[in-house]
Structure 1
Amino acid sequence: MRNTIEQLVDGLAGRELIGDVLDLADEHLRRGDADFVAELGTAVHARFRARDKGSEHHSLFALLLWRLATTHRRDAIAHALRLGFADLSPTERPDRRAAAVLAAHQSPRDLAQVFVPGEAAYGNAPDELRACLVHELVLRGATPPSEAAAWAADSPFWQAHPLARLPWSLSPLEGTPRLPRYWLGGGGSGIAYGLPEGHELPNGPAPVPAVRANDLDFALTTAVDRWSGRYNGRVEAQVHVTDAPVDPDALHPMLASLPLDCLDGLTGARNLAVVATTPAEAWRQLFAAASSGGGHQNEWWYGAHGRLAAWRSLAALAGAPGDATPAEVERRVAACSWYGFRAWTDWFNCDLWDLGLAALSPDRTRLAVLAATDYNGG
């Protein structure tokens, strides 16, 4: 096999088209021969690792690596990690992407050995990949293997990791999260924003209590923090405390009366839509925003950290303290009233990524608002 691979790689010099090589790799994978693809990837990387030797060959290596990671075989997983699938990536967070792709394409049983420290065949998988893999599996409704639990129990890395706060099963509030689908070399979220599901509130005049205090909880923006770092992204979050309870039917005029940049310049009531929604819808939008919304794919946070960020923003909207347990957060979230809004103002980009959420406390005197916008135009 080695002679065949060396001859094949020798013939790549100066070539621009590599489709036949990928076809050959696919044929070997169909026959269960992941070793051939791994050896070919190793040889391509060794021969053409310098970037001035042709981008096609770097693309070939990446596509071979991706094929290994998405082939349903335990040895293919080992080969992919050994060749650097958790390190080589266009994304800024390769460990996170590797965990998402592996969880999407591989079974928990085949991924078990990734959690065995020092397992040479698995390329000594990074602890960050392991931490993310736990929750990427949970998000897909899978139970992480017992090897993951054993690793977590003995790992100082995991015990100090923020992901360790999250439960190892989905709550009813999380439901069945919508996740990206990954194909060869890429992925797509397929998640739309705008108004969440719910009934639209009246936009007529109604008594609005005076706001006696404004506050800011920086955790509010956790799910959309990276949106504000982009050229087209904007984020706004405020907490308003009123001197009397807010009538739910007055939410529309209440929002319109607040000093929010995102609603500045409203030209009429019809340019603001407000719906009463559910905590589950709020979590769905926050998870989408954190995991794969806004900007380009190479800036995604992916599922595990997206789940954590969604919970942090949801907790802050509901007024839960930062050290609250997941169970406490759920109780707070369930007691609040939840709303989504959409506005046609110059602040919003009115493109694929517009987010507007508000939470009213059980006593109806605290209204937390989160708005974000971005688009992929530069």
Structure 2
Amino acid sequence: MDDNPEAPVGGASGRPLGEPSDTAELRLLARSRPEELYAAAERLCRDAPDGGPEGAAAVRIVGRFAAVLAETRSRDCSRFAVDLVGRLLPVGPARREEAELLRRSVAAKLAGAQQLSDLTPLFAELPDTDEDPSTEVRACLLGELALIGSGRGRPALDAYAERLRELGHPLAVLPRTLLDVEHRFTVRVRGLGRVKTSDQLRARFPEISPTEGGAAAGRAAGRTPDGPRARTAARPFTAGGWARASEVRFFTLPRPLDPDDFNISFLKELPLDCLAGEGTRRGGAVACRTTPDDVLATLFAAAYDGGVNGSAQGGAYSRLYAWHSLCALMGLPTDIPFLEAAGQALDHRWLRFMAFADWFHHDTADVAFAVLDPTRTRVTVLAATDTDVDG
């Protein structure tokens, strides 16, 4: 008999549930008697404390039950899954962040596994507040459905989305369908993973040649610190738990920069931590022209995939963080309509760059972008790495 305290509820065979070896039994129970799985989780939530090992174990087990229910196609399983993470899950301060991630994860599983007709009843009752966990999981579900092009035109879902806008929920600003500039979100193309080497960078994007004019312009640039804007720009990486703090710098130029001089020569003259020591290692720095959809997709993936030691943030919030970051890079307010921001992004010039320096490890994930505004007098640089230099 298994006396593991983290698996206190019994399944059809009498063995404890909640352990990795019981996945098949959990799925069988979800298909045949989901109400029993829900009742077991309900007892667990009722008896578990918020803090300590028992509280942590309760959240993990309930999250596991909810995930299995979310992936089992039926109206009852959908309702039970949402109720577990939206109403029953321990929500005290000790487990709040973990509970938030579980709600996002369950919403993503529901959108991917369930029929829309079985999800629609979940939105029959409009919320009174946007702070209720039950409202939050449904807001995340609407965001996940938008990523797969589903849900719009259903009266119950449309009414719920409108109510979220009235309540000021942060996800309510997300368009209910993907914009053209978002076409690469969640899409995985074989052979087009993360850019890790300068050869990969050159193979995918047109390289911009260095110029003396670029170097001269870089030496004349002045820094313009802006902490809040920098934090917003870095949010996809901080939320995803990337290993090192991102570098975000803002610069102003005394005169408009010639577009041909927006290149690696210019960037190497800026006071950037990510390029410190460049030239002391074998290999040269390279900058290539890129497009807003590439930048936006990279920002989305940073939060959506999470860092090596971080946590995936779910599609809805990853989309929100990506857009806020893109707006911050351009110096736009985060409440600007996304379609308008996408149009303004086309008037900016975007670079991806890479170097052989301490910042770039070329093994896990290195990201570096620079953007020149339409006046050609303001430049933003964002660099992030998921390699723990102390590890």
- Structure 1 length as normaliser, TM-score? 0.78
Work out which of the residue numbers 316, 320, 324 in structure 2 matches 1:304: 316
Q: Distance in 2 between matches of 1:318 and 1:81?
A: 38
Alignment match, 2:80: 79
SS in structure 1 opposite 2:367? strand
Q: Is the 8 A contact 1:341 1:357 kept in 2?
A: yes
Work out which of the residue numbers 255, 267, 278 in structure 2 matches 1:266: 278
Considering fraction of residues, name the structure with more strand: 1
Q: Is the 8 A contact 1:294 1:375 kept in 2?
A: no
Q: Is the 8 A contact 2:233 2:248 kept in 1?
A: no
Q: State the shift of 1:117 in Å.
A: 2.4
The 1:216–1:159 alpha-carbon spacing in structure 2 relative to 1, beyond 3 Å, is farther
**Residues 1-378 of structure 1: matches in 2 within 5 Å?**
11-12=14-15, 19=21, 22-27=23-28, 33=32, 36-40=33-37, 42-43=39-40, 46=43, 62-84=63-85, 87=89, 93-117=101-125, 126-144=134-152, 145-155=154-164, 159-178=167-186, 192-194=194-196, 195=201, 197-203=204-210, 205-207=212-214, 208-209=216-217, 210-217=219-226, 218-222=228-232, 224-225=234-235, 227=237, 232-250=243-261, 251-267=263-279, 270-297=283-310, 299-375=311-387
The 1:169–1:216 alpha-carbon spacing in structure 2 relative to 1, beyond 3 Å, is farther
Q: Distance in 1 between matches of 2:268 and 2:101?
A: 39
Q: Is the 8 A contact 2:34 2:69 kept in 1?
A: yes
Tell me the alpha carbon deviations over residues 154-190 of structure 1, each in whole angstroms, 9 at most, x when there is no partner. 357x63122222222211111141169xxxxxxxxx9
Q: Distance in 1 between matches of 2:164 and 2:53?
A: 41
Tell me the alpha carbon deviations over residues 181-215 of structure 1, each in whole angstroms, 9 at most, x when there is no partner. xxxxxxxxx96254494112224644432535322
The 1:41–1:142 alpha-carbon spacing in structure 2 relative to 1, beyond 3 Å, is closer
Tell me the alpha carbon deviations over residues 227-283 of structure 1, each in whole angstroms, 9 at most, x when there is no partner. 458693121111212123323333110001100111111116943221101111011
Q: Distance in 1 between matches of 2:64 and 2:238?
A: 32
Alignment match, 2:3: none
Q: State the shift of 1:149 in Å.
A: 1.5
SS in structure 1 opposite 2:151? coil
Q: Distance in 2 between matches of 1:101 and 1:16?
A: 18
Q: Distance in 2 between matches of 1:274 and 1:198?
A: 9
SS in structure 2 opposite 1:367? strand
Q: Distance in 2 between matches of 1:354 and 1:52?
A: 36
The 1:125–1:362 alpha-carbon spacing in structure 2 relative to 1, beyond 3 Å, is closer
The 1:285–1:154 alpha-carbon spacing in structure 2 relative to 1, beyond 3 Å, is closer
Q: Distance in 2 between matches of 1:282 and 1:271?
A: 23
Q: Is the 8 A contact 1:214 1:240 kept in 2?
A: yes
SS in structure 1 opposite 2:182? coil
Aligned residue pairs: how many? 352
RMSD over aligned CA atoms reads 3.8
- Structure 2 length as normaliser, TM-score? 0.75
Q: Distance in 2 between matches of 1:320 and 1:336?
A: 12
Q: Distance in 1 between matches of 2:337 and 2:18?
A: 55
SS in structure 2 opposite 1:335? coil
Counterpart of 1:192, as a letter, is R
Q: Is the 8 A contact 1:359 1:368 kept in 2?
A: yes
Q: State the shift of 1:333 in Å.
A: 0.5
Q: Is the 8 A contact 1:191 1:288 kept in 2?
A: no
Q: Is the 8 A contact 1:348 1:373 kept in 2?
A: yes
The 1:147–1:270 alpha-carbon spacing in structure 2 relative to 1, beyond 3 Å, is same
